[in-house]
Amino acid sequence: MAKNFTLDFVAGIADEGKMLREFLKQMEISKTALTDIKYNGGAISVNGQDVTVRYRLKADDRVKIKFPPEILSEGMKGEKIPLAILYEDEYVLVVNKPSGMNTIPSREHPVGSLANGLIGYYENNDISATTHIVTRLDRDTSGLVLIAKHSHVHHLLGKQQRSGGVHRSYEAFAEGIIEQDEGMIEAPIARKPDSIIERQVHADGQYACTIFKVAGRYGTFTHLHLQLKTGRTHQIRVHMSFIGHPLLGDTLYGGQKKIVTRQALHCRELFFIHPFFDKEMHFTASLPNDMQEVLEKKLYRKERR
């Protein structure tokens, strides 16, 4: 049976006389969450007594929020999939996702996703949680993924992400030699009209900004470090193709599979502020074997400048 996720707060002197609804808003409990609590099996209590959001607080009141149990989506099945978990606490997980794994199930790949593996992990360890993936990666992109264990935690991290508080940096191999040591690509991205998957640079698209720095130049490609100032779908892939240097292996955007068989893109670093511990969280994941082997092959010797 699913357990309830709970939060506890203590009202301060400045909260004296404040309506509970206002206090909870300050504590970043969303209107959607309050509606869910009211109608789907949650509860709000003060000093052990159930109350409504119209309750007027007194200093030192102890407020407890009991969220409704989360219901697993129909069709979402847990699977025993090995997960490279770099960090876990009662609120979040950080996982190093391999290439070739969907973040969530799709029509083409209904099983074997990170989400399926998470459900299986939760079931095996008696953890009451559903999947709330904060930072998704494409199927063939490897690297760090941030996961919330509850919808409210996802709400807090999503808000932090939208305000620029969640940072990710990437490593990639781009076709050809990029002469600039560093640069910024600002080009709006929109969905391609004849595709549900592919994106393109288009004047009517959403603003997108990618910053790159050259880590090395090799015989036929450039090794890059990249940071996203925005988080558009396929942003790095679209931007690199736009400047004439598609990622190695990224056939969707003009790359070739002569050296690697998937887009050579890896989420190397992840930074965020923990929403409950108010602590800076920083994680790194080194290049996976397929990308590391490309750098080590003498055929692709690094060029000296």
CA 204 centroid distance within chain: 26
In the set 36, 61, 126, 138, the catalytic residue is 138
Q: Which tokens sit at 269?
A: 């670093």
Tokens 């396929």 found at: 234
Q: What is the DSSP string of 71-108?
A: -PPTT---------EEEE-SSEEEEEEPTT--SS--SS
For the chain, counts of helices (H) and of strands (E)? 6, 16
Give yes or no: 140 in active site. Answer: no
Q: What angle do CA 31, 35, 40 make, to 5 degrees?
A: 150
Strands (E), the chain: 6-10, 43-46, 49-50, 62-66, 85-88, 92-97, 132-133, 142-148, 167-175, 182-186, 189-191, 199-201, 209-217, 221-228, 265-273, 280-284
**Would you name the residues annotated as active-site residues?**
138
